[in-house]
Chain A
């Protein structure tokens, strides 16, 4: 059973990760690079990077290693996208395993859509995708809120999809709760160095990329999950025969 989960997660994550990287490099990275030109322009007064209090440990040393722009940077993006794809695909495969159901490729697309809502769209309602140089609150606070919103969304969607009637109400509450608590934002009046037109375009491009990634992940992971079903199901059939 574990083998089935790991195999379908890893295979689907790697395949989808390659395609995601193509969209990433074609549609998203150019906007990030353009945003960085504004960031370096305004870096001289050291005010470009707005951090909340308590981020003293977070340094932007120019001496820290970073991949060279161009091929090297793109290869690291590929690696990171592959790892992210496998990570999310493993979560999907874990969900399939937990449900104990046979997941058709079509049902997999629904799971992928739920993954998109929980790990991308709903957290983005509080913390929209940021370009480098955007004004933002303390990093740790945002990471905690983001993670909490994702976990609450997974729980909420799970209760709505699989719970009894009263649990569905609780699921809805769970979906809304992180947004009532509210995401941490930069203090009012602080603005980043990036033009709003560019930031708006970036948000749409990333949401497109993430939606595509999740739909493909749901579909592919379900496909492999079904393909590798034989290893466990076949044995039970044999025993009964």
Chain B
């Protein structure tokens, strides 16, 4: 019995689960990329300077 319901929830929630998981994962990824490549504060800019130039993010 319980086995059956488990299988059903796994299958039926798969797509929405995938979308939610992927959305959450890419948000973290984008946050990191933003910090390294785009954030404006001068200190962050200077610390990540060479990486910004090397990754061809617009820098100065």
Which residues of chain A have a CB within 8 Å of any CB of chain B?
Answer: 1-2, 5-6, 9, 24, 28-29, 32, 49, 51, 58-59, 61, 64-67, 73, 76-77, 79-81, 83-84, 86-91, 93-95, 97-98, 100, 120, 123-124, 127-132, 134, 136, 139, 142-143, 146-147, 206, 209-210, 235-236, 239-240
Asked whether B26 lies within 8 Å of A64 as measured between CB atoms, the reply is no
Asked whether A73 lies within 8 Å of B50 as measured between CB atoms, the reply is yes
Asked whether A240 lies within 8 Å of B36 as measured between CB atoms, the reply is no
B 14-37 binary contact with A (CB < 8 Å = 1; else 0): 110111011111101111110111
Asked whether A64 lies within 8 Å of B43 as measured between CB atoms, the reply is yes
Given A29-B50, A83-B32, A84-B33: A97 in contact with B21 (beta carbons within 8 A): yes
Which of B15, B33, B54 has the most chain A CB atoms closer than 10 A to its own CB?
A: B54
Asked whether B55 lies within 8 Å of A5 as measured between CB atoms, the reply is no
Could you list 11 examples of A-B contacts with CB < 8 Å?
A59-B42, A84-B37, A87-B30, A87-B32, A87-B36, A88-B29, A127-B58, A130-B60, A134-B60, A206-B55, A210-B55
Asked whether B7 lies within 8 Å of A80 as measured between CB atoms, the reply is no
Chain B proximity of A101: nearest CB distance (Å) = 11
Given A2-B24, A136-B58, A236-B10: A83 in contact with B35 (beta carbons within 8 A): yes
Chain B proximity of A224: nearest CB distance (Å) = 13
Asked whether A132 lies within 8 Å of B53 as measured between CB atoms, the reply is yes
Complex CA–CA separation, A81 to B3 (angstroms): 46
Chain A proximity of B1: nearest CB distance (Å) = 12
Complex CA–CA separation, A123 to B38 (angstroms): 15
Given A5-B22, A239-B10: A24 in contact with B38 (beta carbons within 8 A): no
With A77-B51, A129-B53 given, name 13 new contacts (CB 8 A).
A5-B22, A24-B51, A77-B50, A80-B47, A80-B52, A87-B36, A88-B33, A100-B15, A120-B56, A136-B58, A143-B57, A206-B55, A236-B7
Complex CA–CA separation, A212 to B22 (angstroms): 25
Given A64-B43, A84-B55, A128-B56: A90 in contact with B28 (beta carbons within 8 A): yes
Asked whether A93 lies within 8 Å of B58 as measured between CB atoms, the reply is no
Chain B proximity of A33: nearest CB distance (Å) = 9
Given A81-B51, A90-B25: A98 in contact with B36 (beta carbons within 8 A): no
Contacts of A100 in B (CB 8 A): 14-15, 18
Nearest 5 A-B pairs (CB), nearest first?
A: A90-B29, A87-B32, A80-B51, A142-B58, A129-B56
Complex CA–CA separation, A61 to B46 (angstroms): 11
Q: Which residue of B lies closest to A35 (CB)?
A: B53
Asked whether B32 lies within 8 Å of A1 as measured between CB atoms, the reply is no
Contacts of A131 in B (CB 8 A): 53
Complex CA–CA separation, A215 to B39 (angstroms): 26
Contacts of A58 in B (CB 8 A): 40, 60
